[in-house]
């Protein structure tokens, strides 16, 4: 059993409990539920940098990254830096995040917000909408093709963008469908935690041009982005690189400035 399998087992228990505590009607009546969402896919297609910056306190692979920052400062800092969107980890047990982090980020910036979560139930998409997200993440490794179709179509009915994450060609082939906006390639091997940009390079030609290509994990310098852009990648999810500093917003600003100079 790899880390993803463990997370999914815990996530099912967590979602079952949340469904008992907060009914769907309560989510649908929330203030943010009917706000107009902002398309991250559109922003990435029209950006020179393509940076999606993340708020992440810790991870199973790196333990604690940064527990000292508040979400408000990180979100406003990222917006000031000129990133395309912000990814907010909402998993508590493994990543130290929460839905309140998403709510705080929404109140602090106008960026497209991605709810970074292990989605295994439509209820979590209603939560995402109610807490101010514009985009949801679907992870092919934990979903069947039918799940991906059902969840992505439901997300589209909520006017949410869909970022579908794959790790290999098998996952990619079951994920290509019109209800997906962005295809993200995670460069991290879930069994070993090793990271290689070759994963993104090898899969790039197999991703149809209808989708915005996003590369995730292991992007810690501008050289990595310059290496991946010729392969058609327009989005780059950067988490630890900014979050391990004292001022993620300032780090992102400097990163984007240096990227524009090359």
**Catalytic residue from among 59, 66, 217, 241:** 217
**Catalytic residue from among 14, 79, 216, 240:** 216
Q: CB neighbours of 31 closer than 8 A, spacing ≥ 6?
A: none
**Catalytic residue from among 14, 43, 108, 116:** 116
217 is catalytic: yes
- What's the gap between Cα 22 and its chain centre? 24
36 is catalytic: no
**Catalytic residue from among 39, 186, 215, 241:** 186
129 is catalytic: no
213 is catalytic: no
Residues 158, 172: Cα–Cα separation, whole Å: 24
56 is catalytic: yes
**Catalytic residue from among 14, 165, 171, 240:** 165
Find where tokens 């409990």 sit: 17
**Catalytic residue from among 54, 117, 171, 240:** 54
216 is catalytic: yes
Range 108-111 contact pairs with CB under 8 angstroms and sequence separation of 24 or more: 108/71, 108/72, 108/75, 108/76, 108/79, 109/75, 109/76, 109/78, 109/79, 110/38, 110/79, 111/38, 111/75, 111/78, 111/79, 111/83, 111/84, 111/85, 111/86
The residues that are catalytic are 54, 56, 116, 165, 186, 216-217
């Amino acid at each position: 059993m790899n880390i993803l399998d463990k997370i999914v087992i815990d996530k099912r228990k967590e979602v079952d409990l949340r469904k008992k505590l907060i009914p769907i009607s309560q989510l649908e009546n929330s203030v943010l539920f009917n706000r107009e969402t902002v398309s991250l896919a559109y922003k990435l297609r029209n950006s020179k940098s393509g940076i999606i910056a993340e708020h992440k306190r810790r991870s199973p692979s790196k333990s604690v990254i940064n527990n000292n920052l508040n979400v408000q400062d990180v979100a406003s800092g990222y917006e000031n830096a000129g990133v395309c969107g912000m990814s907010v980890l909402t998993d508590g047990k493994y990543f130290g995040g929460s839905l309140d982090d998403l709510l705080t980020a929404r109140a602090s910036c106008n960026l497209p917000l991605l709810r970074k979560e292990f989605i295994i139930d439509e209820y979590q998409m209603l939560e995402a909408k109610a807490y101010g997200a514009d985009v949801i993440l679907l992870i092919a490794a934990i979903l069947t093709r039918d799940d991906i179709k059902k969840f992505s179509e439901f997300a589209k009915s909520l006017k949410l963008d869909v970022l579908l994450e794959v790790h290999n060609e098998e996952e990619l082939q079951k994920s290509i469908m019109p209800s997906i906006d962005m295809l993200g390639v995670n460069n991290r091997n879930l069994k070993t935690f090793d990271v290689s940009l070759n994963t993104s390079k090898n899969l790039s030609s197999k991703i149809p041009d209808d989708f915005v290509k996003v590369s995730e994990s292991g992007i810690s310098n501008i050289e990595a982005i310059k290496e991946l852009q010729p392969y058609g990648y327009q989005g780059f999810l950067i988490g630890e690189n900014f979050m391990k500093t004292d001022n993620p917003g300032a780090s992102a600003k400097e990163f984007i400035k240096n990227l524009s100079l090359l």
